[in-house]
Amino acid sequence: MSRNEGSDKRHSVIGNRIRSGETESAKFYSSSFENLFKVKVVVVGDVGVGKTCLATRFVKGTFEPAYELTIGAGFLCKAVELPDYTIIFQIWDTAGQERYRSLVSMYLRDAKAALLVYDVTDLNSYINVSEWLKQLRTYSPEDIKIILVAAKCDLSSAVHPTTANEYATKNEMLFMETSSKTGLNIDKLFTTLASIMNVRREADTDSELDQKKKNVLDITNSDSHTKQQCCSS
C-alpha cells in the first residue's frame, strides 16, 4: 500500500466517526449535515455522585466503577438519531469538588441542557441539589432544559423517588431514576433530553456547513484526570 493510500484510508475512518479523545468513538449516523445539531449538555452535582459513570455508560456502554476523578471538566460526545434529524450531545462532565465550583459557571454558558445528578445513597448530595440548581439558574441561558437525575438506583435509597420527583416538578425539571451499573434508563435519559430540545432547523450557508463538518470531526478530549475510586453505580 502506498503512503497516499494509507493516508486516504485513515482519513476515511476518521470521517466516519465522531471522535471523543480517549473515549470510544460514537457511531457516525447517516443523516446529512443539514439535519445535524450539536447540543451542549453540562453534568453537575456533588463529587462522587456518579456523573462520570453516567456519561461513560451512555457514550461507551460500559460501567467503570474505578474511574478517574474529574479535574475541571471532562468531555465526551455521542450522537442520538431521531426520525428527522440527529443530535450530537457534547457532554461536559464537571468536577464536583468545592475548589472547582467557580469553573462551573464557565461551562454553563451557552449550554442547551443540564443533568443535575445526586446519589440516592447520599442524602447530603440530594440536599445540595438546591445549591446546584441555584447556580444553574444564575449562569445558564433562560431556556436551558434540566433533568434531575437520581443515580445509583440499584442500591438502597436514602431519598424517596416521589420526594425527588415532586421537587423536580415544582422547579420545572424532569426527573429520572438511573443506574450506571445496570444501565437503567441511561439511554432513555438522553433520548428524553433529545425529544424536548427545541432545535431549530435553519438553513446553513456553505461556510457554516463546512464549519459544522469540521467541528464534528475535530471533537477531541483535552482534559486531564486523576484516578480515584468513588463511584459504585
pLDDT tens track for 121-174 = 999 999 999 999 999 999 999 999 999 999 999 999 999 999 999 999 999 999
pLDDT tens track for 26-85 = 444 444 567 899 999 999 999 999 999 999 999 999 998 865 666 657 899 999 988 888
Long-range CB contacts (within 8 A, 24+) of 209-215: 209/33, 209/34, 212/33, 212/36, 212/38, 213/33, 215/38
Q: Is the pTM of this model over 0.75?
A: no
Q: Is residue 46 within 8 Å of residue 97, measured between CB atoms?
A: no
SS3 141: coil
Q: Is residue 220 within 8 Å of residue 20, measured between CB atoms?
A: yes
Query: What is the pLDDT confidence band of residue 97, given thresholds at 50, 70 and 90?
Result: low
- Quickly tell me which residue has 464549519 as its cell: 211
Domain 32-199 sits in CATH 3.40.50.300 = yes
- The H or E element containing residue 5 is helix 3-15
Q: What are the Cα distances from residue 33, in Å, to 16, 193, 214, 223?
A: 13, 21, 11, 27
